[in-house]
Structure 1
Amino acid sequence: MDRHQLKVMINKEYRELVNDRGLMFSLLIIPIIFSIVLPILLFILGTRKEVSASIVGLNTFIEQFKMIKYPDYLTRGTVPFYVIFTYFFLPLFMLLPIIISTVLSSSSFIGEKEHKTLEGLLYTPINTKVLVLGKALGCAAPAVTISTVSVLVYILVVNTVGWRYFKHIILPNMTWLLVTILISPLLVLLSILLVIGSSQYLKNSKSAQGVSMIIVAPIFGMLISQATGVLILGVFETVILIIVLILLDIIVFCVVMKMFNFEKFILNN
């Protein structure tokens, strides 16, 4: 594989993203809300029942969490905050890289077809594998970067604003580290591979974004499970999820590389 060609493709994707200010703005809005606005808002409003009732499933989750062992430094008044910021927010930050990578990859692959620019790329002396991998990595790098920075900002906000309540640093714990370092990149790769694999059968980027629901649905399931107390995503559950995602990424990558057909991709308008 030609590393120079691969680097050129990744740089091309990066330049297109930076130059598209509208896309950049839309990608940064949700991370800002998740990592800054919501945590500060919850700290300001507190966990009164009228506040928590506005968040679907939060009251139920707080009640279920009472049965779980939690740190000794927590008091009756700080348990709800701890529950929200260490467990309830976790699936939201698992959704974030999926949303970002899906938007980027659908804009990259389907966007090339919509704007009739992919044919020009295919006439260049670039290997098909390099083209696919370059575009995939070009979409994955910003998605992982944005989601990781969002988690770091969230941790900083929660620990800083929450110090007056906890008198301890509550994040990151092992589960959050595993999600940030391993699960997020794996989810990003899986999301991009699914968009690449399905792009040859789809006509526009809106259809491609619908493919992400294959991944989003289980994450929503985790959010609902945590809210009802059916499943609490701890270290053991996170490790199992990592193993499953690794296997899925390998399987999907092999299938996509074997079945992807650029001629079909271009002709399916």
Structure 2
Amino acid sequence: MEATPPSTFPPAPSSSPPPCRRPSCRARARPSPSPRSTPAPSSQITHDTVFTVTLTGDPSTGSGQALTRTLTHAVAFGEAATATFSPQPVYPAGTACGEPCRTIAIPYTLTNTGQLPTLFTTTVTIQPTIHPTNQQTIKLTTYLPVSATTNGTLFFDLPLGTYTLTYATPFETGSASFHVLPLGSVGLSAVAGPCTNGVISVTATVTNTGFQPGGPRPGAPAVVAGEDAVIGPAVIGGLGLQVVPCAEPRRLS
């Protein structure tokens, strides 16, 4: 007679050890570490930049050493622009402001030299030397396609004085100086030497502080001997020497 096979089979032995139910075993149990990530902060750049990122994590082996990896990534800055402001060195003063002043015109040029279209703001400041707090500021917002150029002119009402123009864009800064001078104005200084042999030598210096070049008046008497060269604006010229008679000091008896 053939034996009838049993309807059920004994369970196959398990390949994993039975769970540990001792208290000491439960105390040693550690949960599996879950992956964690921290979002990187956003960054803004104004030039070509290399970013460096360091990744660290818990060890997945029994070596006990933390895992570290460093990554670098170069980012080319696609926006760039140049600015040029061209004030004249000297402006003549007028009366357009109700006093000696001048409405000056300063041309400028902005050019996109980058690889992307750009929208940026240029801040222009005019600052006097004598009263620096009395400054004027203009902001220009400009959109330029790639390789595009725009031109314009800025106007300022300025009294007599010396000024500094400064400009700033997200890409560069610069400055230039200029003067607003009266049409005709001169300054004179003189230094007298000691009385020697009955004469005193006086050295005189004249400064043209005006806008127009100046020189000796035709037919004027040569009171002071000196050069007849034309003196340009804000240029100092020497007028030489003038001899003045004097008396030598005498000891009273």
Superposition TM-score tier, normalisation by shorter sequence: under 0.3
| Structure (1 or 2) with the greater strand fraction | 2
> Which structure has the greater CA radius of gyration?
2
| Structure (1 or 2) with the greater helix fraction | 1
TM-score (norm 2): 0.18
TM-score (norm 1): 0.18
Ranked by relative contact order (alpha carbons within 8 Å, sequence separation 6 or more), the top structure is 1
